[in-house]
């Protein structure tokens, strides 16, 4: 179902935010009916946006050319976060299989990683692929806490880590001091890794922030940093992505918050629902897709995503 567009609502906290938004653009409500919409990824070749309905155990798709929303796969292993690898192949986090996989729209799939040191992951949540082909993902417990977003189970690893899978398939933890690591993204130069911690969902006064870490991509490891970079104005940060100039567009309870790399909050795109993740789309990459609770929204901006 597609509802008519509504005027987009912005909180402009810094005049520099005004250059990024297009006040005449409207907020489009493209789909509803999801139990918890997450994990959007855009495939430019087919102008298709895929995303997850985690409790509904579905992957949905939106055809940008026709405006048609369809169910792509159901059941879908309680898929969560998605990204593209260097070849443009979709990489998915699956709560249901407790693994990270690659899949193709024609149904082929292969496992990227499903365990570390012989122990199954908790429930991979969100994923990025760096320019050297390594796969970095977060592994909190949301998909094993209950049967709501996966299958209730004990943690085998006994911790909630950020893992890296090297191009040859070796798996190792790179960050081990987070409560519930969640969304993650590299800076444009890949010298910084930003990781959200949504630990406040499990721990009173727990983390609801993004931390920044120094990365040595050649060494395949974190070399320093780890300080809190930004704390969510309301609720928790979940997924986020960078724009072509390195700003960070981060989901939260109020919608999508836009930050400079130095942590300055420029402004917020207000949404009627809690936002879980964002993705760039459109032929010019200036369409911001937002998965928010039951819905998929889109908004045209004056800035777009980096080239892929």
List Cα–Cα distances, 240 to 111, 210, 237, 258, in angstroms. Answer: 24, 10, 8, 10
The only residue of 77, 122, 125, 130 in contact with Mg ion, by rule CB under 5 A: 125
Query: To the nearest whole angstrom, how small is the minimum distance from the Cβ of residue 153 to Mg ion?
Result: 19
How many CB atoms neighbour CB 73 within 10 A?
17
Instruction: Work out whether strand 209-216 and strand 192-197 pair parallel, antiparallel, or are unpaired.
Output: antiparallel
Check binding of 139 to Mg ion (CB under 5 A).
no
Check binding of 126 to Mg ion (CB under 5 A).
yes
Query: To the nearest whole angstrom, how small is the minimum distance from the Cβ of residue 183 to Mg ion?
Result: 5
Check binding of 279 to Mg ion (CB under 5 A).
no
Q: Which stretch binds Mg ion (CB under 5 A): 7-15, 175-183, 209-217, 222-230?
A: 175-183
User: What tokens appear for 2 in the block?
Assistant: 């597609």
Q: Which of the 8 DSSP states describes residue 187?
A: -
Query: Could you tell me where the beta strands, DSSP code E, fall in 198-302?
Result: 209-216, 221-231, 240-242, 248-251, 255-259, 265-270, 275-281, 287-292, 295-300
Return the number of the residue (17 or 136) whose C-beta is nearest Mg ion.
136
Distance CA 272, CA 268 (A): 13
Query: To the nearest whole angstrom, how small is the minimum distance from the Cβ of residue 278 to Mg ion?
Result: 11
Q: Which stretch binds Mg ion (CB under 5 A): 149-157, 182-190, 215-223, 254-262?
A: 182-190
Return the number of the residue (166 or 201) whose C-beta is nearest Mg ion.
201
User: What tokens appear for 215 in the block?
Assistant: 């990365």
Return the number of the residue (126 or 149) whose C-beta is nearest Mg ion.
126
Query: To the nearest whole angstrom, how small is the minimum distance from the Cβ of residue 12 to Mg ion?
Result: 27
Return the number of the residue (2 or 293) whose C-beta is nearest Mg ion.
293
Query: To the nearest whole angstrom, how small is the minimum distance from the Cβ of residue 239 to Mg ion?
Result: 5
Distance CA 130, CA 128 (A): 7
Q: How far apart are the first and last CA of the chain?
A: 30
Q: Which stretch binds Mg ion (CB under 5 A): 118-126, 148-156, 229-237, 248-256?
A: 118-126
Return the number of the residue (164 or 286) whose C-beta is nearest Mg ion.
164
List Cα–Cα distances, 303 to 187, 191, 196, 289, 300, in angstroms. Answer: 17, 23, 23, 13, 9
Check binding of 182 to Mg ion (CB under 5 A).
yes
Check binding of 238 to Mg ion (CB under 5 A).
yes
User: What tokens appear for 25 in the block?
Assistant: 């653009």
Check binding of 94 to Mg ion (CB under 5 A).
no
Check binding of 123 to Mg ion (CB under 5 A).
no
Chain positions contacting Mg ion, by CB under 5 A: 125-126, 182, 238-239
């Amino acid at each position: 179902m597609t509802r008519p567009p509504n005027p987009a609502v912005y909180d402009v906290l810094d005049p520099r935010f005004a250059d990024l938004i297009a006040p005449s653009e409207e907020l489009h409500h493209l789909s509803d009916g999801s139990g918890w919409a997450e994990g959007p990824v855009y495939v430019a070749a087919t102008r298709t946006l895929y995303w997850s309905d985690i409790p509904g155990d579905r992957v949905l798709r939106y055809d940008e050319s026709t405006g048609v929303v369809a169910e792509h796969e159901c059941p879908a292993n309680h898929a969560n976060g998605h990204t593209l690898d260097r070849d443009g192949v979709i990489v998915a986090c699956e709560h249901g299989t407790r693994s990270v996989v690659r899949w193709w729209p024609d149904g082929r799939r292969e496992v990227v990683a499903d365990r570390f040191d012989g122990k199954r992951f908790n429930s991979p949540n969100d994923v990025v692929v760096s320019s050297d082909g390594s796969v970095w993902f977060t592994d909190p417990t949301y998909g094993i806490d209950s049967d709501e977003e996966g299958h209730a189970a004990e943690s085998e690893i006994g911790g909630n880590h950020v893992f890296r899978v090297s191009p040859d398939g070796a798996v190792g933890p790179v960050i081990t001091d987070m409560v519930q690591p969640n969304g993650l993204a590299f800076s444009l130069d890949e010298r910084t890794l930003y990781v959200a911690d949504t630990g406040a969902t499990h721990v009173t006064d727990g983390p609801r922030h993004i931390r920044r870490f120094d990365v040595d991509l050649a060494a395949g490891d974190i070399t320093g940093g780890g300080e809190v970079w930004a704390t969510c104005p309301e609720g928790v940060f979940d997924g986020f992505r960078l724009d072509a100039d390195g700003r960070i567009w981060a989901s939260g309870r109020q919608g999508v918050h836009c930050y400079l790399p130095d942590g300055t909050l420029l402004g917020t795109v207000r949404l009627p629902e809690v936002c879980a993740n964002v993705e760039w789309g459109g032929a010019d990459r200036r369409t911001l897709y937002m998965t928010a609770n039951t819905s998929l929204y889109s908004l045209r901006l004056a800035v777009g995503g980096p080239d892929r």
